[in-house]
Structure 1
Amino acid sequence: MPVTAAPQAPGQPWRELLTGPDAGDILQTALVGVGGHLLSWRAHQVEHRRNGSTAAYRVQVRWPTGEETEERFGAWAGAGPPPPDTLVIGDGTDRVAVWRFPHDPYLPGLATAYDPAAVAGLLRSFDLARAGDEPPRLRVRAYRPHRRAVIEAIGATGHRLFLKVVPPAQAATLHRQHTRFTDAGVPVPPSLGHSADGVVALAALPGHSLRQELRAEAAELPTGAAILALLDRLPAGLADAPVRRSWRDRAGHYATAVASVLPREAERVRELAAAIYAEGGTGPIVPVHGDFYENQVWVAGGRITGLLDLDTAGAGDRLDDLACLLGHLSVLTQLNPAQAATVSRAGARYLAAFEQRVDPADLRYRVAAVVLSLATGPYRVQESGWQRSTRYRVELAERWLTSARAVRRG
C-alpha cells in the first residue's frame, strides 16, 4: 500500500487562503455590498476536494442600523470555474467565491428549507400545522458547504420535521433509501417526500442520540447485543451494491491528510497506516451503515429507537461499522473528559460484545484506522489548539495498534 506524505499536499494553499488572515478581508469585501461591517469571524468547517476547498464561517456583523447579528457564510477557492451565483473576489492570482447562508450554490434547496413561510406550507401539507399558526422555528442542525445541511422545523403545536438538504441529484436516492429501510423494519426517520431542488422531508423520531445519553448521570444505554441486532436488520439487498472501501484500505489516504496539516508527523502517520494495512485482516462483506457512530443511534429508556444518516449505507466489511462506533467513543473520551469514565465503560462493554462476533485483533486494527481517519477533525472544524488535538488522536490510534498486536500475539 503506497502511502505518500508530501510536506504540502494538493489544495493546501486554498485551505490557507480560506482560513488565514486574508479570509477576514474576503468576508469584509463580501459584506460591503450589503452594507455590513465585519466585527469578527471564525471558520468552523474546512474541507478539501480534488479541485477546490470550501469553508463555512460564523461571522459577527454590524449593520447600518447599529444592529449586530451572527451570520453564516460559505466560501470556495480552487481550480476551474467558481460555483455559479456567488460573489467572486480576486486579486489577479487567486479567486474566492463567497455566499451568504442559506444561498449555497451547491445546495439550491437550502434557501427554501430555511424560509419560514415555505416550511410552514410544508408542515401544513403533512398535517403538522394549521392555517393561521405562528411561523415555525427553524434551527440549523448541521451545515457542511457543498455537501449537506439539516434544518429542524418546530411548529407552533410542537410538531417537528427535519429537512435534509443535499445536492439535487442525490435527493431521490436518499428518499428511496429511507423507504427501503422503513420497509425492512429498521427504525429510521420515515421520508415524507423530496423535492427536485434537493430537500428530503424526514419525520422526527422519539428519544435522543446515544451521545446525549452518555452525558446523563445515570445513562441508560442499549446493550452490545442490541447494537449487533440493529446492524443485522439492515436491508439484505444492500449487500448487492458495490463494496465500500474499508477504513483499513483508506488508512494511507488519512495518513496523507494528517501529514498535509502536520508535516512533522508525516513519517509517524505513514508508519502507522502501513502497519494497519499490512497487519489487519478483513471481516465478512455484509450490509453496512457506513458511518455508524454514537450520534447516528437514537435511544430512549435504554432501547434503540432510530438510526440516522443513511447516505453511506451499502455493502461493506462488518468490521467497519463496529470499529466506527468504538473509534468514535474512544475519541469522545478526549472530547468530553467529564464523561470519559462513562464513555470508556460503554466502549469496553461494546468491545466485549463485538469481539464475540469478529476477530478481536482485526477489530482493534480497524478501530486504529477509524481513529486515524478522525485525526484531522480538529483542523476541519478549526478547533482552538487543533495541532495538539490532532496529535492526541494519532497517539490514540497508536494505542489501538499496540492493543491489536498484543491480542494477535495471544
Structure 2
Amino acid sequence: MSLDLLTGPDAGELLAAAVASAGGSLLDWVPQQVDHRPGRGTTVAYRAQVSWPGGVRTETLGASSREDDGPPPPSPGLIALSDGTTQVGVWCLPYDPDLPALARALDPGELLASLGVAGRSVSTAVVSYRPRRRAVVRVDAGAVRLYLKVLARGADVEPLHRRHVLLHEAGVPVPRSLGWSDDGLLALEGLPGTGLRAVLRADGEIPSGAAVLEVLSRFPAAVADLPRRTPWAELAPRYAASIAAVLPEEGLRVVDLAGSVSAGLHGCAPGSEPTHGDLYEGQLTVAGGRVVGLLDVDTAGPGRRVDDLSNALGHLEALALADPPSAERARATARAWEVAFGAAGDRDELRLRTAGVLIGLATGPHRTQAADWPAATVAHLDAVEALLSPRV
C-alpha cells in the first residue's frame, strides 16, 4: 500500500537513495504533509536534513505514487524508484514534477526584469506548498512585494488572471494580477492589512459578519458565468472515505456523519449566485475591523452564498481545535458570524453545510502530520457530531 510505503520506515530508504543519486546524504526526515486518495495514490512532503558537499541544509522533499496513472512523468530533478512492487517518484524542492514553474518562481530575476523590477536585491520564500497541486512564493525586491502563484501542470492560468481582473474592476479587494505564463505562473501584487488568522491570535479588531457579507455582495453577476465547482460540504462522503482509510476505528462514524449531511442537503438546488468558493479566515486581510483584502479566487464561480458562509464557519471551528491560542476568539467570531449569516439565509442549511465542511477539514491533522493526529481527527468528528445533534 502506497500510504504505508511513503509514511513508514521504508520511506527513509527511498529518500536516502534519491538524495544519494543527487550527491547528498540523508541525515534526518519527517513527513509534513500527506495527501492520500484511496484508489488514486499518495503524495507526501517531508522536511529533511541533507548533507551536501557544500554543507548541511534543510530541504523539502516530495514523493508520490499514483495508483490511477502510474508514477509522475519524467522531469528534471525527479528520481524514479521502486521497492519491487510500487513505483515512486522522489524530488527535492523546487523540482516538483507537476509544478514546472516553481523553479522559476524561486529564481525570478528574468520575470522581475520583465515587470520593470530589475536591479534590486531579491529574496524569495515559499509561503505555501501542496505537492503536485500548487505553491505560492513571496518575492521581495526592495520596496516591492509580489506573490507568485504556481499552478499544476496543464492548468490554464489565463482564466485565473481574468478572474482577478473581473473582481478587481468590480471593487472586490483582490490582488491585482500583473500577468501569467503558459507554464502555470501568475504574478500578483501584495494586499494591504494583516491576515485575519494572525489578528485572531494577536487580539486585534475582527470584522463583523456583516462586513464579510458586504464584501461578498460586491461580487459581480458575471462570476456566475464561470465554471461551477462542487461545494466542499457536498464532498463530505469523499473526505469520509479518506478518514476511514487512515483511521478505520472511526470509519463507521464518519461515514454515518457524512451520510447525515448528504441526506439533509438532498434536493438543494446548486444555486447561481456569485461565490468565492473557498472563503475562510486565511483568505481575508483586515485593518481596523474592516476587510481590506480577499485571496485565492481560483474557485470563484456560481453556487449558493451559504456555501461561502458555511466554509468560513467550519474553518473557524477547525482553527479553534488546531490552534489553542486562537481558540477562544475563533469560536467567539464563529458565534457572532453565525448570527449574521443565519439572518441572511436558511439557518438549518448553514448548520448542515458547516458540518460537511468540517468533515473535509477533519482530514487536515493526518494530511499535515499533526502531533497525535488520530486524537485531533476524533476531536473534529466530535465537533461535527455536535453540529448535527438536534438543537433545543
TM-score range, shorter chain: over 0.9
Q: Per-residue displacement from partner, 1:190-241 (whole Å, max 9, x unpaired)?
A: 1100112111000011112111111113x21111111001111112122234
Aligned equivalent of 2:105: 113
Aligned equivalent of 1:340: 327
Secondary structure in 2 matching 1:250: helix
Does 1:84 pair with 2:69? Answer: no
Does 1:396 pair with 2:388? Answer: no
Counterpart residue identity of residue 277, structure 1: S
Does 1:64 pair with 2:53? Answer: yes
Change (3 A) 1:169 1:337: closer
1:173 counterpart (145, 154, 159):
159
Q: Per-residue displacement from partner, 1:126-159 (whole Å, max 9, x unpaired)?
A: 34x352x32x11000011111111000011x231
Contact 1:151 1:164 in 2 (8 A): yes
Q: Mark the runs of 5 or more structure 1 residues left unpaired by the alignment.
A: 1-12
1:240 counterpart (219, 225, 246):
225
Q: Per-residue displacement from partner, 1:67-122 (whole Å, max 9, x unpaired)?
A: 2110111111123442212211113311111111111111111111111xxx2343
**In structure 1, how many angstroms separate the alpha carbons of the residues matched to 2:285 and 2:156?**
24
Identity over aligned pairs, percent = 45
Does 1:190 pair with 2:176? Answer: yes
**In structure 1, how many angstroms separate the alpha carbons of the residues matched to 2:225 and 2:182?**
27
Aligned equivalent of 2:256: 271
Aligned length: 384
Aligned equivalent of 2:356: 369
Counterpart residue identity of residue 142, structure 1: S
2:346 counterpart (336, 359, 363):
359
Aligned equivalent of 1:4: none
Aligned equivalent of 2:200: 214
**In structure 2, how many angstroms separate the alpha carbons of the residues matched to 1:154 and 1:370?**
35
Contact 1:75 1:96 in 2 (8 A): yes
Counterpart residue identity of residue 179, structure 1: V
Counterpart residue identity of residue 48, structure 2: V
Aligned equivalent of 1:125: 114
Counterpart residue identity of residue 356, structure 2: A
**In structure 2, how many angstroms separate the alpha carbons of the residues matched to 1:338 and 1:90?**
43
Q: Mark the runs of 5 or more structure 2 residues left unpaired by the alignment.
A: none
Per the TM alignment, residue 33 of structure 1 is displaced from its structure 2 partner at its CA by: 1.7
Change (3 A) 1:248 1:154: closer
Question: Which moves more between the two structures, 347-356 or 244-253?
Answer: 244-253
Contact 1:60 1:69 in 2 (8 A): yes
Counterpart residue identity of residue 356, structure 1: A
TM-score (norm 2): 0.93
Aligned equivalent of 1:39: 27
Per the TM alignment, residue 374 of structure 1 is displaced from its structure 2 partner at its CA by: 0.6
Q: Per-residue displacement from partner, 1:345-371 (whole Å, max 9, x unpaired)?
A: 111111110010111122111111111
Change (3 A) 1:200 1:241: closer
Secondary structure in 1 matching 2:376: helix
**In structure 2, how many angstroms separate the alpha carbons of the residues matched to 1:303 and 1:120?**
35
Secondary structure in 2 matching 1:151: strand
**In structure 1, how many angstroms separate the alpha carbons of the residues matched to 2:66 and 2:44?**
12
**In structure 1, how many angstroms separate the alpha carbons of the residues matched to 2:183 and 2:264?**
45
1:48 counterpart (24, 32, 36):
36
Aligned equivalent of 2:235: 250
Does 1:307 pair with 2:294? Answer: yes
Secondary structure in 1 matching 2:343: coil
**In structure 2, how many angstroms separate the alpha carbons of the residues matched to 1:317 and 1:42?**
40
Aligned equivalent of 2:276: 289
Contact 1:280 1:361 in 2 (8 A): no
Contact 2:70 2:87 in 1 (8 A): no
The two structures, once aligned, show a CA RMSD in angstroms of: 1.7
Counterpart residue identity of residue 103, structure 2: A
